[in-house]
Structure 1
């Protein structure tokens, strides 16, 4: 799953060698086809993008543009020019979306992710000489790598712009999304709400009232449904929101299928996850590792979370694994 500038091409390379093109690829005949790629820009790196989606003219990325960009998207607005100079030149959102679309076209099962909103994250300080000496060359560049955090956060308006643009791309390509939300559960829901507010499903009684319509209106409705501006399936990754938010996402009028995923690393240290897991419908729960290495550790983390879900749902392990597997296949391939 991609998250920033440096790993988009790496995900592409992995998918080119091991990518799953259809559900049939998961069979025993194709044991090397086991990668579902995800392409997206994580909110932790959203400041490295400038929003040019509504600008037709070419933009020159000079020193002044870079300074003005970071001053406008970071809060508090940084006055330390040396700090701004240590940041990479921002990348065009429009160009990134086009690149991502190309990747999605290459891989029919690819998702958009990890994308979302994060109110708590602060960007790291610039590299010191001491940090530089201790950098791990085996790690994909772009992460914190032990640096202390600065006081700067990314303005929510900018995070929302980057998030929304990727949701619209997922909608256009009819792809599922993996969504990160930390201390921003309301803002994430509001972003979705804004996209699907005119497309909510009608209740049965309302459908009966509106059946006698002109053919032209039916045609318009068909076109509208085809061009829906929201992704068809949504996974709220490592869901940490309260039980109350489940009700909003599970409203029968919501036109997208929303799934809730849990992982041992992030969810199990908290007791509140027990009630949330119990409240998630059987057909909308997923499990994940949120681990960055394909290893026995990843398998153990998945098993740990599966067992906890089965305990909380009062399922046998066999039944739980079957349910979780069916949910995953439906989320990916429906």
Structure 2
């Protein structure tokens, strides 16, 4: 997830216009993960959008924004509803205690006497935090939104081991508190959301940062718990930070797990080319993980070019509705086939 306040200078260079496929080709691309509701956008930018985008929600305040965007542009937006791990500290697993008690128990620890420095940071942070909501409320909200859109996905949900709670998430760069969100707390909220997705037969956009073994164990546990119903949905590990060896394990064990890559996030890693090379040709998706809808296409074109280079695929300069033999497919047709395989599940 790229922050809405991320300055352009820290993001990868956009692809030159000369390398941009024509609109008739781009129309067959899907951005598997982006955050277009994080910044204001114009009707003109939506009308000029050549690709389909999967618009993620992350916390209580943006679920309705994604819903409204999908209602306005149903042919261009795949809505995704869920609660991101960065905001799981705002969620109480049981009937919400007082605000102070909830955050104190979660971030400091029940019965733990904090140091003077920790206590000072907590007193600065607490007034900036919202009243906690319950996991039951979260699940009710997600269920309602998924029910409203039959093709909607669960997302963005996941795990983030090192994330620290920001004093103000809207600032850039954000001032971070010393508090992390316990992984057990994140896991319980994530598993409940996955259970709901399995029940409703919805695909998932999954965030996983710095917890490879926990992610491997989670997917194995979901497979064991839900069996064939878990196999019937698809899981996209988005902007995957897993190393190629861990990805190879997941790819072998789970035929329903895909990977989507971006230059926005994965471009910071030295193993991006190796990861692309390790992904089976039919499990690979692309994404922008971008917050500005006017630039999502360009970010997708950039990762498209890199994927094509690593995989040795050509990029189409024209499009025929009658598909050539699979051996002659270009990168866009291959990625479109992958998206359709992901989208339709079993």
Q: Same fold (TM over 0.5)?
A: yes
Conservation of the 8 A alpha-carbon contact between 1:2 and 1:38: yes
**CA–CA distance in 1 between the matches of 2:113 and 2:191?**
23
User: What TM-score, normalized by structure 2, do the two folds share?
Assistant: 0.72
Match of 1:284 in 2: 283
Conservation of the 8 A alpha-carbon contact between 1:39 and 1:110: yes
**CA–CA distance in 1 between the matches of 2:96 and 2:273?**
50
Conservation of the 8 A alpha-carbon contact between 1:76 and 1:153: no
User: Deviation of residue 60 (structure 1)?
Assistant: 5.3
Spell out, residue by residue over 1:24-72, the C-alpha distance to the aligned partner (whole angstroms, 9 max, x if none).
xxxxxxxxx21100001111111011112xxxxx555464455445444
The one of the two structures with greater contact order (alpha-carbon pairs below 8 A, sep at least 6) is 2
Conservation of the 8 A alpha-carbon contact between 1:109 and 1:333: no
- Residue 48, structure 1, aligned to residue 90, structure 2: yes
Conservation of the 8 A alpha-carbon contact between 2:58 and 2:83: yes
Change (3 A) 1:189 1:282: same
User: What TM-score, normalized by structure 1, do the two folds share?
Assistant: 0.75
Name the stretch that deviates more: 99-108 or 64-73.
64-73
Match of 1:211 in 2: none
Match of 1:94 in 2: 136
Match of 2:237 in 1: 236
Which runs of no fewer than 5 residues in structure 2 stay unpaired? 1-55, 317-329
Which protein has the larger Cα radius of gyration, Structure 1 or Structure 2? 1
- Residue 5, structure 1, aligned to residue 56, structure 2: no
User: Deviation of residue 145 (structure 1)?
Assistant: 4.0
Match of 1:167 in 2: 194
Coordinate RMSD, CA, aligned:
2.3
**CA–CA distance in 2 between the matches of 1:91 and 1:122?**
19
Spell out, residue by residue over 1:90-138, the C-alpha distance to the aligned partner (whole angstroms, 9 max, x if none).
111111101110111110000000111111211112x5xxxxxxxxxxx
Matches of residues 1-334 of structure 1 in structure 2 within 5 Å? 1-19=56-74, 33-52=75-94, 59=96, 61=98, 63-65=100-102, 67-72=104-109, 79-80=119-120, 81-82=122-123, 83-125=125-167, 143-197=170-224, 225=228, 228=229, 232-251=233-252, 254=254, 257-295=256-294, 297-318=295-316, 319-334=330-345
Give the length in aligned residue pairs. Answer: 271
